[in-house]
Structure 1
Amino acid sequence: MGDELRLDAHPVTNWLLLGAAPDSTLAVDELLDRGVTHVLDCRTPRRVPPPASVRTGLVWCSAPTADDGASRGTDWYTACVTFAALAARENSARLYVHCAAGVNRSPAAAYAILRSRGWAASAARARILTSRVQARPRYFEDAELCLAELGLAEQERP
């Protein structure tokens, strides 16, 4: 048990946490201890179901995408935003968004979620990058373009 991975997560808001994959029972226990009720997994599909996908007390959603530098596409952002909206309907919900390392894909999903909930682009970017210092804004511009196409976020004026 000493070799089990601990949770690598950072709160972005009181209902949104961002981080790396919770790939051990210890990490999933920590999610539950933090009050997480919903998990958005942004990694490519796994051969073996991840621990969070089969844990009682967690609603798990896979929104798979590769970390390849290409556009995530409107369908991916829609899936992320839709799942977050589903979670937000519950009064005591807390959403954990993760990819493998919590550096590129999950920060993009968290950014899209905040933007779709009315956050200004600059505020969403700053909150994510200060909450999780290892996060990179690799796909934030892509998120902006896709959210604009979907009509899910107003564009900031310079």
Structure 2
Amino acid sequence: MSAPHEPALPAPAPRRGLAVADAAFVTDRLLVGGDLDTRDHRLAATQLRELLDAGLTHVVDARVEWSDEEWVHQLAPQVGYLHHGMDDAGQRVPGAWFDRGVTWAQEAIDQGGVVLTHCHMGINRGPSLGFAVLLAQGWDPVQALDRIRAVRPIAWVAYAEEALRWHHDRAGSSPAELEADRRRLADWRATHELDLAAVIRRKRAQGW
């Protein structure tokens, strides 16, 4: 296993909010969010331009149902794009899924890139992969969740438990260490409840 990255906290404050792109800076080099508009190509192009102007260099697309890779490369061939989809059905996530996505994203960040991890609505898959990137960088799990929720209030990060298991497996942690972080994550969820049905209805009303 490669040497762990230095802890990321205290981290730079995220950049200012984006006006049209459905994404938010978690750190200066990592965004999480939803996809480009799927119905209005002009709006999608405006969203992509805003992301590029904000420094975007790489995209990890966690959707299994769609990919914008060909279209993005037509408009911005310089952008690195990893289509790394999985379903969003509350399933167990193989560690290999986190391995590939995090390694690719972290290599881009280490080279000075700015990475977006996204899914469709930006509620579960994209934020969960972003959470795993933060864990790999040395973030405390609860502080990482706090940061993601602060910049993206609709993020439920449903696969945080799977990312946590992957992280502890990768680090060779003891079962007691994993269980302690699982309890902290459960406590976080209990105090940061989210009405997912309302969030999804609102996103669909906005055209997602």
Scaled by the length of structure 1, the TM-score of the pair is: 0.86
Q: 2:140 corresponds to which residue?
A: 120
1:1-158, aligned counterparts within 5 Å?
A: 6-23=20-37, 24-46=44-66, 49=69, 51-54=71-74, 55-91=76-112, 93-151=113-171
Once the two structures are aligned, what percentage of the paired residues are identical? 29
Deviation at 1:45, TM superposition (A): 4.7
Structure with higher helix content: 2
Counterpart contact for 2:35–2:122, Cα < 8 Å:
yes
Q: Which amino acid aligns with 1:67?
A: D
Deviation at 1:152, TM superposition (A): 7.9
- Tell me if the contact between 2:32 and 2:127 (Cα under 8 Å) persists in the aligned partners: yes
Is 1:38–1:58's contact at 8 Å kept on the other side of the alignment? yes
Number of aligned pairs?
152
Whole-angstrom distance in 2 between the partners of 1:41 and 1:150? 23
- Provide, for residues 19-71 of structure 1, a one-character-per-residue CA deviation record: whole Å limited to 9, x for no partner: 11124222211111111011110001537745334422211111110101002
Q: Highest Rg: 1 or 2?
A: 2
1:137, distance to aligned residue in structure 2 (A): 2.8
Aligned equivalents of 1:56, 1:115: Cα separation in 2 = 30
CA distance in 2, matches of 1:14, 1:50: 26
Read off the aligned partner of 2:91 and give its amino acid letter: A
Tell whether the 8 Å contact from 1:71 to 1:142 is kept in structure 2 after alignment: yes
Q: Deviations over 1:74-107 (max 9, x none)?
A: 111011111112112223x111111001000011
Report deviation, 1:72. Answer: 1.9
**SS of corresponding position for 2:88:** coil
Question: Unpaired runs of 5+ in structure 2?
Answer: 1-19, 38-43, 185-208
Residue ranges of structure 1 left out of the alignment (5+ in a row): 1-5
SS at match of 1:78: helix
On the 8 A contact 1:28/1:51 being kept in 2, the answer is no
* Aligned 8 A contact 1:97 1:106 in 2: yes
RMSD value over aligned CA atoms? 2.2
Moved >3 Å (runs of 4+): 47-50, 152-158
